[in-house]
Structure 1
């Protein structure tokens, strides 16, 4: 759970995306680590939870840079996986299969209770919203929308205009400074957002596709 949360905070991935990426989706080079988001976890009654080989929307398929503290977590976990695990998810159950989003959320709530944060309003999406806020304040709303796998009106001025798919490692510098274990710098989060920025971030969050955990909970 701790590793998954650090990766979510260091990437801005949706919970279903964070639990679905595989070693084969990771590129680690001189400029830093990059993850290709090309799948997500979904739940279907009668079939259970499985990895879908494409994300929820066209814009959700993207390559994103990883903050240094999250890259360290991923490197450690990759070292623990063998050559035959390249198509398996980095976060997996004891049998090597995908994790259940329902169980993940239940464990997350248990962690909040242990930390006496059960009434804080923190959810798995809180980490994604935090990354979006940091990028929006440092690089603008378009950069935040692109990183999260959305398209804003400024990005898609015309119907046939494709969003910029360039991997921008610089957008994660402020995320790294905020989330690092030693001497974290919260100055970006202490800055105020104007009404337009708050409204856009709220709409990005409202437009999030469902990850299937609600249906899974109903079935359980």
Structure 2
């Protein structure tokens, strides 16, 4: 490792040289001898500490690292999450990974939440930001393993949003009906292409989701043969792929595989759908698009969001709100925690309680009902009385 003096055209420059662990010699020119010596010294320390990075590797961009991270995914769901990262990098995409710093990431996280310049200034949810941060962290750890960077910059992650769904966030029967009616009749937009095309199928999907609690992918991937019209139940065995041409993919978890009973309204909806759009094969989807393709979780949710926007409903209303509607309906009818967890496909009742515990009647509610049953202001109410021996007993 040396520092050499060079003079050209009367100007003196200093060239620092060193040989890396890969055997290649590298150099850089400076205006002063001290700067050249410092640069060579820094490289020496990096090699002694095992922190030396090939400058050529450091020029690989964050976007290229994310694409490599996506290719290494083993499962389809994991690959989908990593692919989504490659689409949401914004300004990070073209930054050389060796030059990426925490302030860059902080700005990116801020844009995700406030409005993405690369996506018409539309924000994403806190849970989506957390997922993207986790995927970026994984991609940067890959960059460390492959010698592109010495260590990952700090990646902030927003606090985990509360899982509990408040009563004010539950959709009402009227709102569910309004969404279904808007889907069935369509909504004319102020400008061409800004409305919502009439879709009786989407209307039935909305009502079926409210009556079964199925996730959008589960509903989209539901086959005719998975519906038992006589017993009035659906077997949830798989879900739609990420694209309409992908076919089906495994469910989210083992617990997601379940049998869900349904009522007469859902029976009528499913029967009506198949009468209007008959199938020749029991393996086909119950619900299909106007082109005869399978719906996906994405197309279902996006169509639902357009309806919500046109109807002016709150931003917390998503297709998942229909699942919450179903759960709250079961709870109001007196269903146990275990039953609700089973029909929703939760891995354990603890998950169900985390989201819906406050919807079950508490001690205060039971106390009010007990006192009301006494009927203090009317004759004939139930309550403590004295028997013939003067002892208290419940009537």
TM superposition score category, shorter chain reference: 0.5 to 0.7
**How much does 1:81 deviate?**
4.1
Q: Distance in 2 between matches of 1:129 and 1:77?
A: 24
Q: Deviations over 1:57-96 (max 9, x none)?
A: 2111111111221221101112234452321111112332
Correspondence for 1:27 among 205, 222, 228: 228
More helix by percentage:
2
| Counterpart mapping for 1:56-67 below 5 A | 56-67=252-263
Equivalent residue, structure 2, for 1:148: 344
Q: Distance in 2 between matches of 1:130 and 1:105?
A: 16
Q: Secondary structure, in 3 states, of the residue corresponding to 1:63?
A: strand
Do the aligned partners of residues 149 and 120 (structure 1) sit closer, same or farther apart at CA in structure 2, a change above 3 Å counting? same
Cα contact 1:51–1:98 (8 A) shared by 2: no
Q: Distance in 1 between matches of 2:228 and 2:239?
A: 18
Cα contact 2:337–2:353 (8 A) shared by 1: no
| Counterpart mapping for 1:84-163 below 5 A | 84-117=280-313, 119-137=314-332, 138-152=334-348
Q: What stretches of structure 1 of length at least 5 have no aligned partner?
A: 155-195, 203-220
Q: Quick check: 1:73 aligned with 2:251? A: no
Cα contact 2:216–2:296 (8 A) shared by 1: no
Q: Distance in 2 between matches of 1:64 and 1:197?
A: 16
What number of residue pairs does the alignment pair up? Answer: 155
Tell which has more relative contact order, 1 or 2 (C-alpha 8 A, sep 6+).
1
Q: Secondary structure, in 3 states, of the residue corresponding to 2:343?
A: helix
Q: Distance in 2 between matches of 1:109 and 1:83?
A: 28
Q: Distance in 2 between matches of 1:152 and 1:198?
A: 9
Q: Deviations over 1:21-60 (max 9, x none)?
A: 111111112xx5111111102327xx964322x4222111
Q: Secondary structure, in 3 states, of the residue corresponding to 1:139?
A: coil
Q: TM-score, normalised by structure 1?
A: 0.62
Q: What's the C-alpha RMSD, in Å, of the aligned pairs?
A: 2.5
Q: Deviations over 1:173-219 (max 9, x none)?
A: xxxxxxxxxxxxxxxxxxxxxxx9763438xxxxxxxxxxxxxxxxx
Q: Distance in 1 between matches of 2:318 and 2:348?
A: 24
Do the aligned partners of residues 197 and 145 (structure 1) sit closer, same or farther apart at CA in structure 2, a change above 3 Å counting? closer
Q: Distance in 2 between matches of 1:136 and 1:18?
A: 22
Larger radius of gyration: 2
Correspondence for 1:43 among 237, 242, 248: 242
Do the aligned partners of residues 50 and 65 (structure 1) sit closer, same or farther apart at CA in structure 2, a change above 3 Å counting? same
Q: Deviations over 1:136-192 (max 9, x none)?
A: 3411211100011124258xxxxxxxxxxxxxxxxxxxxxxxxxxxxxxxxxxxxxx
Higher mean C-alpha deviation, range 74-83 or range 105-114 = 74-83
Cα contact 1:42–1:50 (8 A) shared by 2: yes
Q: What stretches of structure 2 of length at least 5 have no aligned partner?
A: 1-201, 358-395
Q: Distance in 1 between matches of 2:349 and 2:266?
A: 30
Do the aligned partners of residues 69 and 201 (structure 1) sit closer, same or farther apart at CA in structure 2, a change above 3 Å counting? same
